Amino acid sequence: MRQKRVSLTQHLIEENRRYGTVPEELRLLLEVVARACKTIGHSVGKGALGNILGSNETENVQGEVQKKLDILSNEILLESNEWGGHLSAMASEEMETIHPISKTYPHGSYLLLFDPLDGSSNIDVNVSIGTIFSVLKMPEDKTDADEKDFLQPGRQQIAAGYALYGPQTLLVLTTGRGVHCFTLDREMGSWVLTQANMRIPEDTSEYAINASNARRWFPPVKRYFEEMQTGKGGPLKKDFNMRWVASMVTDMHRILNRGGIFMYPADERNIEQGGRIRLLYEANPMAFIVEQAGGAATNGLIPMLDVVPEKLHQRVPVFLGSKNEVDRITRYHKETR
């Protein structure tokens, strides 16, 4: 018997029928984002054949060297979403300020934020990378968006997700009713539901952290890391394995499937900036996904989704994944305040 295949569109329509959480305008927006990710994935797959590898010899607003594919991915997302009438404005990790929708096109009631290509340091060595995105609602009393409209706590996200460009091209999405994974059928060009209601185990023996920064960490993180190294004979009473890809999308997808804790703490080098990970483009969408999958996400002191943004490119410490381990490292931070 032929197995029933549920497309992204069918899933979103059925979710709206069941819960009323995906009105048509939001569904159409998410479909456009998914198509843009499909286009980015196609470019990633071409690699050197598409002349998109290597540095663009420019820097983004973060002072980071941009790859050619960073620029291309940003342009794909902007151009795909600008004309549909679903958005009032967009914001990207790669742009200094927001991108208002042109007066040429109709305006919608949503705001789109994205990291067009997460893990871009891995582009040239054929390691999995991805796109992260978040959707917010425009304030009801406004028609033209400004930067302040994007400074909403993560708890107010309408939808969030990421695309993972690896051996398979995947789209992981939440609209506040669980987390669902779609696989791109490359022959048919369609997103097919392959994992529904993903759940992160509460306990774990895996962690992801850039251990080369250990000498710069602050006491709570050093304590937790040292306890993990002691294994079964230490206070945590189990052996831990480290898994670190240096692509947040890739590390988080592993954790979403089999548990783990992802940590990117602030350290002596970036404490003045607030940390390394961008709140609006990376931390908030991932925290929304993690909480919807039964995990936890904090900045070391409070739930990530309760952090009130103060600026468009704000950075934060990040601890997210399996609930019991995130709770532990959060407790260590509170004990040292």
Binding residues for substrate: 118-121, 210
Write out pLDDT tens, residues 154-182: 999 999 999 999 999 999 999 999 999 99
CATH of the domain at 33: 3.30.540.10
Q: Classify residue 1: in a domain, yes or no.
A: no
Confidence of residue 47 (pLDDT cuts 50, 70, 90): confident
Return the percentage of the chain with pLDDT > 90, whole number: 85
The CATH number given to whatever domain includes residue 250 is: 3.40.190.80
Q: Are residues 130 and 214 in the same domain?
A: no
Would 50 be classed as within a structural domain? Answer: yes
CA–CA separation, 120 vs 55, rounded Å?
Answer: 10
58 band by pLDDT with thresholds 50, 70 and 90:
low
Residue 200: inside a domain: no
Cα gap 149→270, rounded to integer Å: 27
Q: Higher confidence at residue 291 or residue 58? A: 291
Binding site, annotated residues for Mg(2+): 93, 115, 117-118, 282
138 with 258, same domain: the answer is no
Q: What is the DSSP letter of 269?
A: T
Which of 222, 178, 213, 170 is CA-nearest to residue 196?
178
Helices (H), the chain: 8-19, 24-46, 68-82, 219-229, 248-258, 284-292, 323-335
- Model confidence pLDDT, tens digit, residues 60-99: 555 555 678 889 999 999 999 999 999 999 999 999 999 9
In a shared domain, residues 167 and 29: yes
- In this structure, the answer to whether residues 212 and 309 fall within a common structural domain is yes
**Domain residue limits at 93:** 8-195
Q: Are residues 315 and 228 in the same domain?
A: yes
Q: Which of 160, 195, 230 is the last residue of a domain?
A: 195
Is the whole-model pTM more than 0.75? yes
Handedness of CA 60, 62, 63, 69 (dihedral sign): negative
- In a domain, residue 2? The reply is no
pLDDT at 64: 58
Question: How high is the mean pLDDT of the chain?
Answer: 93
Question: Binding site, residues?
Answer: 93, 115, 117-121, 210, 282
Number of domains in the chain: 2
Residue 255 lies in a domain: yes
- Is 201 within a domain? no
Q: Are residues 190 and 214 in the same domain?
A: no
Do 225 and 293 lie in one domain? The reply is yes
pLDDT at 54: 65
